[in-house]
Structure 1
Amino acid sequence: MSESLLSRVGRLVSGTANSIVDAVESTAPDIIMKQAIRELDSAVEDVRAALGKTAVKKHVASQRLAETNKSHEELSEKIAIALRAGEKELARAAVARQMDLEAQIPVLEKTIADAGDEEQELNNSILALQGRKREMSDQLDTYIAQKNAATSQSTTTDGGADGKLNKTVDNANSAFDRAMKAATGVPGAPGSGSMADDAKLAKLDQMTRDHRVEERLAALEAELE
């Protein structure tokens, strides 16, 4: 795979910080995500085109290697015939030709091996791009569904000022997590959630820490006995 195509695939699969900023700050993130999905489709086609060229190169090199090995075997037979007939000069010419073929064989073998590695890399790139597209498509569907739900939801069901604050924070966290995952393929912080959930998790963390302190004290006391 060429360096430019490899870099492009890496950029599309992993995303960039700029993509996160664009998705979060844009007034139309759905348009940005649709554009990104189209770019993924274009990249898949480019990788497939490169895969086709690599397959042709591997096929041609394989054919050439088979022909070279066959010629080498035929020369061995001719050399034996020439020597038995006392035609040493003919045998010498055949040996020289054999040596030329032997020099070509490792080059052809390396070409085939490299083409095979490149084929594998290109196939993996296609799978990665297709997986990224499915992920972004799911995120786009989720965004559109939540956007439609938010539009139709009555503001009177927000549960007062505290409810509105919690809802605003939760929506902000959810939007950022979606943007983070859509842009980089990496979900947001696993602890992100509602304010009530965060408070419960913080209490659980403190309980876990207290338990570990008690365990260590007990172990130290046991050592002193």
Structure 2
Amino acid sequence: MTRAEPFPASLTYLLLPSLEDMAAVRDLLEAYRRIPAILDEIRRKHGLGANVVALTTLGYQPVRDATGLPARLVTLGIRDLAQASGIDPATIVSMPLDDKLFAVKGVSAIALTTLDGRRTMPYRFEGYGDPWHGASPARLVVGEDALTIQAGVTITVPQETKTMPETILTRVGRIIGGLSNAALDTVEDRNGLAIAQQALREIDDVIEEARRDLGKVKAEDHRLNARRGQLEAELKALGDKLETALSTGHEDLARAGIARQIDLESQIEAVDSSLASVAERHEAATKAVQAALAARRDAEHRISLIEQPKGRGDDPLADYNDDAARTGKLERSLRAIDRVTGTASSPAEASLVDLDRLHRDQAIEQRLAALKRNRSS
């Protein structure tokens, strides 16, 4: 069993935006600063105080129409500013966030929702701070020269280490480690040949698994995009129906239509979040295929060194650039996998080998040119 102790805390991400990213965030803040004036007008008109429920019901659509803010930010913003009356917009330098408005994309980037869609920008983790007391899960703080996200977290300290499942990339890493530590040390031994050949068989399994993952990801991407199109079409049609209801005096129908509009917008945001996740999985699966192709080239090279007559294997770089032969072997291997599994490679999948070779060729030429420049300087 794993026992964990929670420690409520806050953490800070320092974003590193481009000029375009910073401009988009400042536009978002300017739109957000218009919320207090709209809420003050609703309070005056309806005699309200700091009633969050009433202000959200009456203010959501006017705020959304006037500012163009994302639906979730409108809801969080009304809740955030409901207690404030007569506030100076210039004093507002932060906005509430939740997991629909920002997402940490691994160790190097954060995706943030702005007026013109999601923007991904690098960040630097600044560390943990005092316990988090914010009403929202996080806040975006816009300074003169700095852009930070402060978020509430629960730190868990496990008492025992839990074994994590092996991913495709870690499997490739293990295979590469085996080739480096075993096959190289036994290059004069027939055992080295057996190890390298076993690595080839395992790499073929990895390639097939990565291909299947790519197929599933592409199918999910198609399904989500189709659903998003349906939701957008319904949302667009609903706008015309609302105009008709209001023009004919049917406010009850318009109210029901607005409720449906809010639901549709929430669903679209959820689908967009899923599409972002699918894009990350597609990138990971593609990297796994590229890593497996590189590992296979290395394994075949080790085998060729072991099988060479003594006296020809002294140079570890000998014949390593024989890409045509290795590509042919790899394509034959992929066709063999197709025959065993009954799945046919799509044109896009078949081009992975060519794409990988093109990428490697460009990287080789760039590094060669850099080496020449260093020698001449």
TM-score when normalising by structure 1: 0.60
Give the Cα separation in 1 of the matches to 2:173 and 2:190: 27
Which position in structure 1 is the counterpart of 2:249? 86
- The one-letter amino acid paired with 1:24 is D
Map 1:37-186 → 2, pairs under 5 A = 37-147=200-310
5+ residue gaps, structure 2: 1-164, 318-377
What letter matches 2:216 in structure 1?
K
Residue 177 (structure 2) aligned to one of 12, 15, 33 = 15
Q: In structure 2, how many angstroms separate the alpha carbons of the residues matched to 1:84 and 1:10?
A: 65
Q: Distance in 1 between matches of 2:173 and 2:212?
A: 17
More divergent stretch after superposition (122-131 vs 94-103): 122-131
Structure 1 residues 112 and 95, CA, compared in 2 at 3 Å: closer, same or farther? same
Measured after TM superposition, the shift of residue 10 of structure 1 is 3.1
For structure 1, the 5+ residue unaligned runs are: 151-170, 179-225
1:3/1:63 Cα in 2 relative to 1: closer, same or farther (>3 Å)? farther
Give the Cα–Cα distance (whole angstroms) in 1 for the partners of residues 274 and 255 of structure 2.
Answer: 30
Shift in alpha-carbon separation, 1:21–1:5, aligned structure 2, 3 A:
closer
Contact 1:44 1:126 in 2 (8 A): yes
Shift of 1:9: 3.1
Cα distance in structure 1, aligned partners of 2:309 and 2:215: 41
More strand by share: 2
Q: Secondary structure at 2:309's aligned position in 1?
A: helix
Q: Separation in 1 of the partners of 2:224 and 2:216?
A: 12
Query: Equivalent residue of 1:127, what SS?
Result: helix
Q: Please identify the structure whose Cα radius of gyration is greater.
A: 1
Report matched runs for 1:199-214 at 5 Å: none
Change in CA separation of 1:48 and 1:105 when aligned onto 2, cut-off 3 Å: same
Distance 1:9 1:89, change over 3 A: farther
Output the aligned Cα RMSD: 2.7
Mean CA deviation greater in 116-125 or 99-108: 116-125
Q: Alpha-carbon deviation of 1:112?
A: 0.9
Bigger relative contact order, structure 1 or 2 (CA pairs below 8 A, ≥6 apart):
1
In structure 2, what is the Cα distance between the partners aligned to 1:3 and 1:141?
29
Alignment partner, residue 24 of structure 1: 185
Q: How far apart are residue 22 of structure 1 and its match?
A: 6.6
Q: Deviations over 1:133-191 (max 9, x none)?
A: 012102211210135x68xxxxxxxxxxxxxxxxxxxx8xx59x79xxxxxxxxxxxxx
Q: TM-score, normalised by structure 2?
A: 0.37
* Percent identity between the two aligned chains: 28
